[in-house]
């Protein structure tokens, strides 16, 4: 059994004749914050769709906390929490009703769900908004509530697909900081982004470009003392 | 930590999905009203007008001449379920454009179960609508035997499942929300008008044999007849078989289309 929270080995994916992912391998260590950096169209969303089994992966191997996604999809998905780019909460229901629904999707009953809802909403700093309608929350609060939703079944790894899209600078910083705090509590995170500012030298980093992994390691090592943006442009060959 | 799915967890998941559908329905009072006003308009206005034009002979399950309002009521019950099936299909397409469908499919339960739970939840909502409609229709002299209100329930479950499964299947084929108006024109209206909801089959034959044949093979006709007979405490075997067959067919096709390895999702292009 692999010790990584998420392990992807030699995964390729095609849409017709277009190769969206070519031989992608990466691994997210337990309790680690790993950034998946790439411009729009690099293949981040395709990779996430494969990990969440929205598309079937026909090549290579994806393991969530040691569970093969193809052989044991139920066990793998039970350990996965996902924050999608588009919102997944029902705007006209309360946060508690939403959380109870998502807990049910993992087989967690109402009484237990209520306890966990208080727990995860406290974690994301929104304990007092549990009974508010989602539409009454600000953009940043909605994102944090989405993270609470993804945490309700106590996943081992959290996937976040451009979780800060559409947020102002302050809310963005809060959401990144919140995710880092969660990894300190033991949850692993794969953070897909195209924003360099969100990455710190000590973070794990995977650079995805045109469906290929260009570099993987710690952000500090990859940048090797240089500016990450410059390094990224040099690696992707888009340096001016 | 063990994360095996126990029977209790399956029940929890189903109840959770059913609760979400009913909560959404209760929150959208406009939708409930619209779902009720539509058949009532048909009953109060259309049927009243047609009563004079259309004389009906005795046709099973009725044992005597019936008012047009009485004849048209089972068809309107099925219409409620048809619209409800399309409504849940619309919400599936909407859910897919937001992240709600993704979160549903990321659940560790198998897809047939998730889609089936959504289907049953939609049927529960449609049955609440039908009984409310029948209650109002009672004051309009549409008075089936009291036992009929009980015997119609299994028929409503089956027809609702069939029409919901059809909506589910259509939702997998519709790529964008905007295409939905097309479905209204090409599915709902032809299905409703080319059926026995408004006029009995024998009358159709008088005007056109082709139209009669189309009506006879239309699954919606069989949903209407199943409800019609059940509302009078009778069982129509042919309708039962056709509705059950179509249910299996549509649901199977929907599960196939939502399967990650097959159907439309496999060909979908991501970012």
Hey, where are the domains in chain A?
1-79+155-240, 89-154
For residue A43, give the nearest of A19, A20, A62 by alpha carbon: A20
DSSP assignment, residue B84?
Answer: H
B199: pLDDT confidence band, cut at 50, 70 and 90? confident
* Pairwise CA distance, residues B225 & B155, whole Å: 10
Of B97, B106, B266, the CB nearest to A55: B266
The alpha carbon of residue B264 is apart from the nearest alpha carbon of chain A, in Å, by 10
What is the overall mean pLDDT for chain A? 90
Q: Which residue range(s) make up the domain with B209?
A: 7-267
* Pairwise CA distance, residues B35 & B160, whole Å: 14
**B174 lies in a domain?**
yes
For residue B268, give the nearest of A39, A13, A213, A38 by alpha carbon: A13
Instruction: Sheet with A33-37: list strands edge to edge.
Output: A80-83, A157-161, A188-193, A33-37, A204-209, A212-218
**For the ranges A219-228, B92-101, B192-201, which has the lowest average pLDDT?**
B92-101
Residue B1 has pLDDT above 50, yes or no: no
**B192 lies in a domain?**
yes
* Pairwise CA distance, residues A51 & A36, whole Å: 13
B257 in Cβ contact with B237 (< 8 Å):
no
**φ/ψ (deg, to 5) at B74:** -60, -35
Q: pLDDT exceeding 70 applies to what percent of chain B? A: 90
| Count of structural domains within chain B | 1
**B45 lies in a domain?**
yes
Among the CATH numbers 2.60.120.10, 3.40.50.300, 3.40.50.11540, 2.70.180.20, which is that of A1-79+155-240? Answer: 3.40.50.300
pLDDT digits (tens, 9 = 90+) for B71-105: 999 999 999 999 888 888 878 877 777 778 888 88
Residue B270 has pLDDT above 60, yes or no: no
For residue A158, give the nearest of A146, A172, A166, A174 by alpha carbon: A146
Gyration radius of chain A over CA positions:
18
**ipTM (interface predicted TM):** 0.83
Interface mutation vs chain B, best among A19, A24, A54, A113, most B CBs within 10 Å: A54
* Beta strands A157-161; A18-28: pairing state: unpaired
**Number of cross-chain residue pairs from A and B with Cβ atoms under 8 Å apart:** 121
Looking from the CA of A129 toward its CB, the CA atoms found within 13 Å total 22
* Pairwise CA distance, residues A32 & A141, whole Å: 24
**B2 lies in a domain?**
no
């Amino acid at each position: 059994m692999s010790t990584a929270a998420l392990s992807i080995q030699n995964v390729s994916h095609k849409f017709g004749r277009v190769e969206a992912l070519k031989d992608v391998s990466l691994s997210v260590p337990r309790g680690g914050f790993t950034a998946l950096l790439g411009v729009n169209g690099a293949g981040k969303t395709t990779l996430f769709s494969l990990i969440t089994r929205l598309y079937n992966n026909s090549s290579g191997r994806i393991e969530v906390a040691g569970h093969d996604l193809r052989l044991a999809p139920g066990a793998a998905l039970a350990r996965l929490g996902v924050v999608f780019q588009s919102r997944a909460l029902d705007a006209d229901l309360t946060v508690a009703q939403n959380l109870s629904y998502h807990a049910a999707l993992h087989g967690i009953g109402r009484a237990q769900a209520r306890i966990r809802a208080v727990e995860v909403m406290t974690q994301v700093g929104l304990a007092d908004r549990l009974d508010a309608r989602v539409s009454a929350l600000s953009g940043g609060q909605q994102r944090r509530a989405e993270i609470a939703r993804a945490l309700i079944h106590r996943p081992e790894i959290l996937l976040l697909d451009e979780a800060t899209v559409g947020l102002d600078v302050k809310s963005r910083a809060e959401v990144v900081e919140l995710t880092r705090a969660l990894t300190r509590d033991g949850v692993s995170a794969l953070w897909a982004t195209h924003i360099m500012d969100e990455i710190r030298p000590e973070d794990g980093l995977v650079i995805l470009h045109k469906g290929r992994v260009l570099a993987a390691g710690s952000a500090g090592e990859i940048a090797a003392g240089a500016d990450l943006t410059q390094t990224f442009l040099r690696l992707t060959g888009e340096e001016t | 930590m063990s994360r095996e799915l126990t029977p209790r967890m399956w029940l929890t998941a189903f109840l959770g999905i059913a609760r979400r559908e009913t909560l959404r329905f209760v929150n959208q009072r406009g939708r409930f009203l619209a779902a009720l006003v539509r058949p009532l308009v048909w009953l109060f206005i259309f049927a009243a007008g047609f009563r004079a034009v259309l004389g009906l002979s005795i046709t099973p399950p009725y044992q005597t001449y019936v008012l047009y309002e009485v004849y048209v009521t089972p068809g309107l019950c099925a219409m409620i379920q048809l619209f409800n099936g399309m409504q849940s299909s619309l919400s599936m397409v909407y859910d897919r454009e937001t992240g709600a469908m993704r979160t549903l499919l990321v659940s560790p339960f198998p897809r047939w179960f998730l889609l089936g739970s959504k289907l049953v939840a939609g049927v529960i909502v449609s049955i609440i609508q039908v009984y409310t409609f029948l209650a109002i229709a009672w004051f309009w002299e549409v008075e089936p035997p009291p036992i009929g209100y009980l015997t119609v329930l299994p028929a409503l479950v089956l027809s609702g499942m069939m029409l919901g499964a059809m909506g589910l299947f259509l939702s997998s084929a519709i790529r964008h929300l905007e295409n939905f108006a097309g479905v209204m024109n090409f599915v709902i209206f032809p299905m409703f008008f080319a059926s026995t909801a408004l006029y009995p089959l024998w009358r159709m034959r008088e005007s056109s044999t082709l139209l009669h044949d189309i009506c006879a093979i239309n699954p919606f006709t069989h949903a209407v007849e199943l409800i019609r007979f059940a509302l009078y405490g009778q069982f129509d075997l042919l309708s039962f078989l056709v509705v059950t067959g179509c249910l299996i067919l549509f649901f199977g096709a929907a599960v196939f289309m939502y399967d990650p390895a097959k159907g439309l999702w496999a060909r979908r292009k991501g970012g």
